């Protein structure tokens, strides 16, 4: 049986990278499989957060997911901190994972930056919590963008080490699902940097709250080179900014890059950028509209998340109880 789990951090607005790399795939998977989607607030506090902003962002991300097509009746949608088994299993995994494994994690190195001594212990052990998010449901498939591949490999290592420790195939080895034409959307200002929530420049990303004018002006100002678009995909090599815009077009239009270049090869960005902006506006503005509608009713969003947390808890609790028993903990978690 396939069970899908994925998560997104409630830190700022969701952007086109989140949407094309992850969320759109989440929406598609829910037609076929049992899906659990989580707003990972425990992960968010691995770096300093303003409490009121964290609360608001949690609602906002939930609204974006629903506006993008996540159906809370069909899938489970909740915020991580409401299901204590995530943190409970993460502790067990902290006692399974080795320093050497975590020392290899590139996301920690990027996020901690030069001042590593000042990073929180939580940021360092972020990947063990992520492994527990997935495995506390014995999820088998994890749709994510390419940047999460290494964390998924670590999740498999942890599952394997735990299984070896207890002498049985207790956890499945979950598989990453890196799907679509835009698994790594780059910054609009720099084709060598990932589009991210934390980039200082608002012009580096298109967010799900941007209106049509903002989308048009961000795409028109996007960094490019002076050459026209090539007619073949090979011609995009060494042209990271051009490649990024073409792959965004392909993903939004549900086509491949070759098809897009068959239409636009030989054209300059003066033609391509407005066409891309129109397409982005057509695909994103219904989501933005629905998101604003949902955000106007925070009570409703809170109720959706609370219902989702109860469903998630019902799945996580018995699995955690089995873990406790395997490890040798006496009794059961209170509550």
The residues carrying an active-site annotation are 111, 194, 197
For the chain, what is the HEC assignment?
CCEEEEEECCCCCCEHHHHHHHHHHHHHHCCCCEEEEEECHHHHCCCCCCHHHHHHHHHHHHHHHHHHCCCCCCCEEEEHHHCCHHHHHHHHHHCCCCHHHHHCCHHHHHHHCCCHHHCCHHHHCHHHHHHHHHHCCCCCEEECCHHHHHHHHHHHHHHHHHHHHHCCCCCCCCEEECCCCCCCCECCCCCCCECCCCCCCHHHCCECCCCHHHHHHHHHHCCCCCCCCCCCHHHHCCCHHHHHHHHHHHHHHCCCHHHHHHHHCCCCHHHHHHHHHHHHHHHHHHHHHHHHHHHCCHHHHHHHHHHHHHHHHHHHHHHHHHHHHHHCCCCCCCC
Cβ proximity to ligand AMP, 194 vs 324, nearer residue: 194
Only one of the segments 144-152, 162-170, 203-211, 275-283 lies at the binding site for ligand TRP (rule: CB under 6 A); that segment is: 144-152
9 is an interface residue for ligand TRP by CB under 6 A: yes
Site track for ligand TRP across 27-46, x = CB under 6 A = -------------x--x---
252 is an interface residue for ligand AMP by CB under 6 A: no
Region 172-231 residues binding ligand AMP, contact defined as CB under 6 A: 183-185, 194-197
Among 46, 85, 125, 148, binds ligand TRP (CB under 6 A): 148
Among 4, 9, 219, 244, binds ligand AMP (CB under 6 A): 9
184 binds, among ligand TRP, ligand AMP, none (CB under 5 to 8 A by kind): ligand AMP
24 binds, among ligand TRP, ligand AMP, none (CB under 5 to 8 A by kind): none
Contact positions vs ligand TRP (CB under 6 A): 5-9, 40, 43, 130, 133-134, 142, 144, 148, 151
Contact positions vs ligand AMP (CB under 6 A): 8-9, 17-18, 21-22, 144-145, 147-148, 183-185, 194-197
């Amino acid at each position: 049986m396939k069970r899908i789990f994925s998560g997104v951090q409630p830190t700022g607005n969701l952007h086109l990278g989140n949407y094309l790399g992850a969320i759109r795939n989440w929406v598609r998977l829910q037609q076929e499989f049992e899906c659990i989607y989580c707003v990972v607030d425990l992960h968010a506090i691995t770096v300093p957060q303003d409490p009121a902003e964290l609360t608001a962002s949690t609602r906002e991300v939930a609204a974006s997911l629903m506006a993008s097509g996540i159906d809370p009746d069909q899938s489970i949608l909740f915020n991580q901190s409401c299901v204590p088994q995530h943190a409970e299993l993460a502790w067990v995994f902290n006692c399974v994972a080795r320093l050497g494994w975590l020392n290899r994690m590139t996301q920690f190195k990027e996020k901690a930056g030069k001042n590593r001594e000042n990073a929180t212990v939580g940021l360092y052990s972020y990947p063990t919590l992520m492994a527990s998010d997935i495995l506390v449901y014995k999820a088998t498939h994890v749709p994510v963008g390419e940047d999460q591949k290494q964390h998924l490999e670590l999740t498999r290592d942890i599952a394997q080490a735990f299984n070896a420790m207890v002498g049985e195939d207790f956890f499945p080895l979950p598989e990453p699902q890196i799907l679509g034409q835009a698994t790594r959307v780059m910054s609009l200002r720099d084709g060598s940097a990932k589009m991210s929530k934390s980039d200082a420049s608002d012009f580096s990303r298109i967010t799900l709250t941007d209106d049509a004018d903002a989308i048009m002006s961000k795409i028109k100002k996007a960094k490019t080179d002076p050459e026209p678009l090539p007619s073949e995909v090979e011609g995009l090599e060494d042209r990271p900014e051009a490649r990024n815009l073409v792959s965004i077009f392909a993903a939004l239009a549900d086509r491949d890059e070759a098809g897009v270049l068959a239409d636009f090869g030989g054209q300059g960005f003066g033609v391509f950028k407005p066409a891309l902006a129109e397409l982005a506006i057509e695909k994103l503005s219904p989501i933005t509209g629905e998101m604003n509608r949902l955000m106007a009713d925070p009570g409703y969003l809170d109720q959706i998340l609370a219902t989702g947390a109860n469903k998630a808890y019902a799945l996580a609790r018995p699995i955690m109880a089995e873990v406790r028993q395997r490890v040798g903990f006496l009794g059961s978690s209170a509550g």
